[in-house]
Amino acid sequence: MKTIGGEMELGQENIFSCVTDSGRSSLKLIVRGLPKKMKYALPDFICSSVVDVFRKSHSDFSFYKVNEDFSIDRESLRRIKFDVFYSVNYFGQKNNYLSTIRKNKILLEDSVFLPELKRPEYTGDWIAFNSFRKISPLADGSIINSTIELRENLIKKDAAPFSGLKYKAKNIKYEYIHSKGHSEKKYLELFEEAEKKLDAQETIYGISGTSLFNLLDFYKNLKDENAVRKGNFEILNKKLKSMRIEINPEFPSFFPLKVNRRNELRKYLFSKKIFLPVHWPAPVWLKNGLYEKIISIPVDSRYTAGDMSGIVAAIKAFYE
């Protein structure tokens, strides 16, 4: 008869896990935890804040090409020497890279658009991180999973200074939208101040208490949230066929479009109170056509099928 009673047991896979304040803090912890001599292969379509982490740590890195469908240009990857392969799961779409890299390389997955970090069928060392700021209402928070033990002692167990400002701005925005309390200018100024603090931050912090509490609520509602997002995503997928990039994300936060006259379109949509983000502003040192063409539509549960149809109508009106 098996043992019954006592404390619940817990089996552990050989995975190191920790939580930081942001995706870029997680990346700092990863880079600081790996040997200095490591050479990194980075995609040439990437957020500049990622490249800044490698630059500031004086890491050795080269770029491989990303195609317009977010696939990897394998020939460009073969031309560079690397120890760590940095892969971005763009907009929640898992990359098909396992046949590209050998098991003696470290696989580093940028999964900032995903709520869960699932180890792929890869026998080499693997590290992944996400960012709850990108996919949820949380102002801060990022999970790391790794087969390599990292330097958890580098995490300062306090809330990052930007987090409180972000939450204040989020609360004011909520009141502005739902009851016309406060002003749009006020919350925009706070968001900008918080972003400046995050950009200047070198210390690695843990997740804030507020975000930890909100994270429990986020995961509790994850299934229902994902259903709404996939529904909104599918509406756009059907109605914007000529502009879509064919992806099938596990957890969609945005519907990416590849468009001409992107900046003109964005300005036009601003005039209609539709504020669509750009992923990402083009770094001066990188050349990839995606930087000039991508614009993204949020598909989370703040928005209805009617909202999606309204955005589609506005985009089509611009190109008529």
153-198 pLDDT, tens digit per residue, is: 999 999 999 999 999 999 999 999 998 778 899 999 999 999 999 9
pLDDT at 123 over 90: no
| 230 and 112 housed in the same domain | no
In this prediction, residue 121 carries a pLDDT of 84
| 298 and 226 housed in the same domain | yes
| 139 and 176 housed in the same domain | no
| 145 and 267 housed in the same domain | no
Domain range for 180 is: 161-200
**What is the C-alpha separation between 162 and 198, in angstroms, rounded?**
6
User: Residue 182, Cβ neighbours under 10 Å: how many?
Assistant: 14
Residue 306 lies in a domain: yes
pLDDT at 293 over 90: yes
| 241 and 277 housed in the same domain | yes
| 92 and 137 housed in the same domain | yes
pLDDT at 201 over 90: yes
Residue 41 lies in a domain: yes
The CATH number covering residue 100 comes to 3.40.640.10
Last residue of a domain, one of 106, 130, 157: 157
Residue 257 lies in a domain: yes
User: Given the structure tokens 């379109």, which residue do they identify?
Assistant: 265
User: Residue 4, Cβ neighbours under 10 Å: how many?
Assistant: 5
**What is the C-alpha separation between 218 and 108, in angstroms, rounded?**
25
| 179 and 149 housed in the same domain | no
CA angle, 284 then 33 then 95, to 5°:
55
Contact 115, 222 (CB under 8 A): yes
pLDDT at 144 over 80: yes
31-68 residue pLDDT tens: 999 999 999 999 999 999 999 999 999 999 999 999 99
The CATH number covering residue 257 comes to 3.90.1150.10
Q: What's the structural domain count of the chain?
A: 3
| 147 and 168 housed in the same domain | no
In sequence order, what DSSP letters do the residues of 110-160 get, joined into one string? Answer: E-TT-S--PPPS--S-EEEE--HHHHSS-SS-EEEEESS---GGGEEEEE-
| 99 and 143 housed in the same domain | yes
In this prediction, residue 283 carries a pLDDT of 86
234-266 residue pLDDT tens: 999 999 999 999 999 999 999 999 999 999 999
| 41 and 147 housed in the same domain | yes
| 186 and 283 housed in the same domain | no
pLDDT at 111 over 90: yes
Residue 165 lies in a domain: yes
What percent of the chain is modeled with pLDDT above 90?
Answer: 87
203-223 residue pLDDT tens: 999 999 999 999 999 999 999
In this prediction, residue 181 carries a pLDDT of 76
In this prediction, residue 285 carries a pLDDT of 85
Residue 4 lies in a domain: no
Residue 103 lies in a domain: yes
In this prediction, residue 169 carries a pLDDT of 98
What's the average model confidence in pLDDT over 89-100?
85
What percent of the chain is modeled with pLDDT above 70?
Answer: 100
In this prediction, residue 62 carries a pLDDT of 98
Residue 3 lies in a domain: no
CA angle, 76 then 61 then 155, to 5°:
135
| 143 and 29 housed in the same domain | yes
Last residue of a domain, one of 147, 170, 200: 200
pTM: 0.95
pLDDT at 9 over 90: no
What contacts 93, CB < 8 A, 6 or more positions away? 70, 247, 248, 249, 250
Residue 266 lies in a domain: yes
In this prediction, residue 138 carries a pLDDT of 99
